Structure 1
Amino acid sequence: MIDFVKRIIYSIREYLILIILLLVSLSLISQNETPSLQKIKSFAFVNIAVINNIFHNIFISNNDSDEIIMLKRRNAELMLTVNKLREYAIENSEIKGMLNFTNESESDLLSANIIAKNFGNIIGNIIINRGEKDSIKVGMPVINHLGLIGIVYQTSNDFSLIRTLRNSKLKIAVEAQRSGVQGILSWEVEKLTLKNIPATYDINIGDRIITSDFSTLFPPKIPIGVVVKKENNISGLVSDIVIQPYVDFNKINNLFVKKLVISKELNEFELNLLKNIKPNE
């Protein structure tokens, strides 16, 4: 039996080598952000999106109905509003009776279907069936009724590439809602982590993590997840805080793009930051 397997492998060795080299090449290209490869990656993105959309429409019939999408939209709006209420209550108990903040408008949220997912140890991207013709722009936040999913990273006329929380290149300024402890959240192989938080800082298991007021990529107070573990380093002076996201990325099929109106200067800054950030930064 072993000899038979060896003969089979030997007979197709050229194909195996070719496949291995192609996989290595694709991996290197996906990690490379040089301008010379951007056109190739953009071309591949558009074509993959078109192919996936065709197969999605033919073979997948689990898209939510208009009524369910409307309910999810309302849930997402309520999630943002409730989180504002929670934040105001933490800052000042008297604010509970002062609800004069601006409500989230339904026009702020654009529904979209996910037509492709790509999740690995460090890469976490999804493609949606909305693009520039729907007024989608790079830098727009992406959420569902549970919390933050990611950010629009690349667009074509009909599709958009979303860089999710499970992408190691996405770094997010966040805070613990209860105590206000600040940190930078990123994906570390298999988990969301706040790294090098001083051990004396007031952050506990069960604390809610939200986007920070100091974030240059996201509006503040969007729910992200909850603290599930504190990992102390050898010295015991700092800890890595593990976060369980509210969104289950393996199950999501629909989402909302939050159509923010931001200044040209900030939009250009976010665009440059998104495209120039390196995987290990």
Structure 2
Amino acid sequence: MKREFHFVIYLILAILLFIGSSENRLTKAQFLSKTIYIPLVNSIQKFNSLFDLKEKNEILSEKLSEHTIRITELENVLSEIENYKIDYNTGNYGHLLADIVGFKGEFQERCIIINKGRQDKIKLDYPVISNDGIVGKIISVSHNYSIVLPLDNSRFELGIMSKRKHLQGIMKSDIFGNSYMTLIKPGSDIKVGDIIVTSQISSVFPKGFPVGKVTKLIEKQTDIFMSARIKTFINPSELDQAVVLLYEKDESYEEELKNN
């Protein structure tokens, strides 16, 4: 485009200069040099500068896009590293980082879909955790994805205990996603602020995995047991990745008890 523009300008000037006698051409040349040539040269230089700036802007925009993509890739890698880092003792069990790729169900009754399945050696009832605490358990396994029942689902139940006194109870959640420690004997040593962890009676998780914190004690005269409201350390709907714990509880002793 620049070349075409220059050619047209030069062609017009050439035609103007070659029309008329020698004196007229000389006069026109002197006139053009004073009134048009210098401003024209300046204008052409400005046009050239504008075209150069446009090309440089396009190059810079392309480089900026490349850097933005690279930064996003690095942020995703950093996020994976942070999500894979567990700040509590998980024993010697293997871990598998999984992306949360969808949800199944409605509202608080929905389950989590992860992008790991049978081809990744995932099995039913494998525990799912994050770097802050437990997330749920595997309830369905397909070839390349699995479904996780989260801890705030009303179908989820888990053996838990207070970390301070090892007071045992069962974790349950209502349809609104509120979680409770139930089956607590009245008068038990439990208080607001106590940390709740998984207990040995859990059929899914190893002992001692963080669950949440007691925020309220609930005791009714009509109930045999009291309960404690728990604020879980994890909100499953805020996760984009989770860690599957490659753990299967040894239940051979339970079979032995049944046979005796």
Common fold: TM-score over 0.5? yes
Name which one, 1 or 2, has greater alpha-carbon Rg.
2
**Paired residue for 1:249?**
236
Q: Is 1:71 aligned to 2:58, yes or no?
A: no
| TM-aligned CA deviation for residue 64 of structure 1 | 6.3
The one-letter amino acid of 1:201's match is S
Match of 1:182 among 168, 171, 174: 168
Specify whether residues 164 and 217 from structure 1 end up closer, same or farther in structure 2 by C-alpha distance, changes over 3 A only: same
| Cα distance in 2 between the residues matched to 1:143 and 1:119 | 21
**Paired residue for 2:16?**
none
| TM-aligned CA deviation for residue 171 of structure 1 | 1.1
| TM-aligned CA deviation for residue 104 of structure 1 | 4.1
| TM-aligned CA deviation for residue 217 of structure 1 | 1.7
CA contact (8 A) 2:126 2:248 kept: no
Residue by residue over 1:110-137, the C-alpha shift from the partner in whole angstroms, topping out at 9 and shown as x without a partner, is 1111111246566241000110101111
**Paired residue for 1:112?**
98
| Cα distance in 1 between the residues matched to 2:74 and 2:124 | 25
Q: Is 1:163 aligned to 2:172, yes or no?
A: no
**Paired residue for 2:61?**
none
**Paired residue for 1:88?**
none
Residue by residue over 1:7-46, the C-alpha shift from the partner in whole angstroms, topping out at 9 and shown as x without a partner, is xxxxxxxxxxxxxxxxxxxxxxxxxxxxxxxxxxxxxxxx
**Mapping for residues 45-60 of structure 1, pairs under 5 Å:** none
Specify whether residues 262 and 63 from structure 1 end up closer, same or farther in structure 2 by C-alpha distance, changes over 3 A only: farther
CA contact (8 A) 1:63 1:253 kept: no
Specify whether residues 183 and 121 from structure 1 end up closer, same or farther in structure 2 by C-alpha distance, changes over 3 A only: farther
| Cα distance in 2 between the residues matched to 1:196 and 1:228 | 17
CA contact (8 A) 2:204 2:248 kept: no
| TM-aligned CA deviation for residue 189 of structure 1 | 2.2
Specify whether residues 115 and 240 from structure 1 end up closer, same or farther in structure 2 by C-alpha distance, changes over 3 A only: same
Q: Percent identity?
A: 24
Q: Is 1:222 aligned to 2:233, yes or no?
A: no
In structure 2, list runs of 5 or more residues that go unmatched.
Answer: 1-71, 256-260
| Cα distance in 2 between the residues matched to 1:249 and 1:62 | 24
**Mapping for residues 1-281 of structure 1, pairs under 5 Å:** 65-74=76-85, 76=86, 78-80=87-89, 104=92, 108-118=94-104, 120=106, 123-190=109-176, 191-235=178-222, 238-263=225-250
- RMSD of Structure 2 on Structure 1 (CA): 2.7
In structure 1, list runs of 5 or more residues that go unmatched.
Answer: 1-60, 82-102, 269-281
Residue by residue over 1:207-246, the C-alpha shift from the partner in whole angstroms, topping out at 9 and shown as x without a partner, is 0010001212211111000001111113476322110000
CA contact (8 A) 2:130 2:243 kept: yes
Specify whether residues 232 and 69 from structure 1 end up closer, same or farther in structure 2 by C-alpha distance, changes over 3 A only: same
Q: Alignment length, in residue pairs?
A: 182
Indicate the SS of the match to 1:161: strand
The one-letter amino acid of 1:161's match is I
| Cα distance in 2 between the residues matched to 1:255 and 1:228 | 25
| Cα distance in 2 between the residues matched to 1:63 and 1:117 | 26
| Cα distance in 2 between the residues matched to 1:181 and 1:62 | 45
Specify whether residues 179 and 252 from structure 1 end up closer, same or farther in structure 2 by C-alpha distance, changes over 3 A only: same
TM-score for both structures, normalised by structure 1: 0.59
